[in-house]
Amino acid sequence: MGSSGSKQMQSYKDACRDDPNIRSFDATLQTRTTEVLRSVVADIDIRSLSFDSLKEVYGGLFAMNQGVVSIILSHQKDVWNNPQLSELVEEYFNNSLQMLDLCRTLEKCLNRARDRQLIISVALQRFEEEDGDEANNEEKYSKTLEELNRFRNAEYPFTEEFFQILGLVYEQQRSMLKKLELHKRKINKKIKSVKTYRKLTGIIFVATVVAVVICSIVAAAVAAPPIAAVLAAVASVPLGSMGKWVDSHWKRYQVELEKHEELLSSMHLRTLITISDLDSIQALVDKLEERIKSLMGIADFALRGEEMVKLGIGEIKKNMEMFMQSLEDLGAQARNCSEHVTKGRTAILQKIIKSKK
């Protein structure tokens, strides 16, 4: 046995030590080999083999190959039928629907904030009209004060429902990110590891060696050259077609893993984008709330009297631009978030469809 064979044998021994499935295969292989050789030895004195002995030889070789097939399929089954991945994909789409629901709720909040902006704009317009009016002091700025009252008493833009949904969605996305990272580590470990491949090639190698040994013994014990030639041919089958078969299935196994890793990476990236969008939304909501509360405080101040109205309107004008900018920024972020979620859902669907081809 050459250096390559020695390495494969050592690899097989290591696999037997680490993998209970391969230990079971090895025990079955040893038992089957002993039975076949015992049958051959029983007929060796008469320099010919009975039909039962030949059947035992054929059955032994067939059982070895079937054992190899079972081991290979057991290693690939966890890739082809992966309930964890299916659950992650389903959770991703459910979470994305929650995100879209949050965006719709946020848009309602923005509409209420825009209503307040319009009220303030009307108040500023009324002030310009009334400031130059020569009406008596009791009626002066009455319309301005009316609009400021409307602004102060208008429905607050951000409801408790919005903050509940925001908190829930954020927790869902963080949880999803952890699950994806855990599953990605598992998949990457499988992709990077050549251990599975070494196990499979080791099994093929050992099964082939045993087949060659058995057929060599049988060939030596058989008088008829044609039968010896047939048995020698049987021994060569695992080295050729069986090896190619295993290699093709190993490649398929690796390709499936890589498809899963690609899908997980895409969901991971989209989840990171969503979390970033949520962070931006939270920051912009905080800023807009600050602007609204500042304007409400100024409105309360302006409602105290004529001189206060003038001072208050001056402060409102100074703060109005920042309020409008905050409102515009949050609206743009809400649209971006909705667009990111929609594109993400489409991208994941395309990955899934592509992986099935």
pLDDT 10s digits, 215-242: 555 555 554 455 445 444 444 444 444 4
**What is the C-alpha separation between 349 and 199, in angstroms, rounded?**
35
Residue 74 corresponds to which amino acid? S
Cα separation values, 166 from 104, 109, 203, 272, Å: 12, 12, 54, 16
Identify the sign of the CA torsion 195, 199, 205, 209: positive
Q: For the segment 130-179, what is each residue's pLDDT rounded down to a tens digit?
A: 877 665 565 678 888 899 999 989 999 999 999 999 999 999 999 999 99
Identify the sign of the CA torsion 107, 110, 114, 116: positive
pLDDT at 130: 82
Cβ partners under 8 Å of residue 45, min gap 6: none
In the chain, which residues have pLDDT < 70?
1-16, 18-19, 21-22, 24-81, 133-139, 193-250, 356-357
- Entry pTM: 0.68
> How big is the CA angle at 97 (ends 94 and 99), to the nearest 5 degrees?
115
Other Cβ atoms less than 10 A from the Cβ of 75: the count is 20
pLDDT at 118: 95
CB 206 within 8 A of CB 12: yes
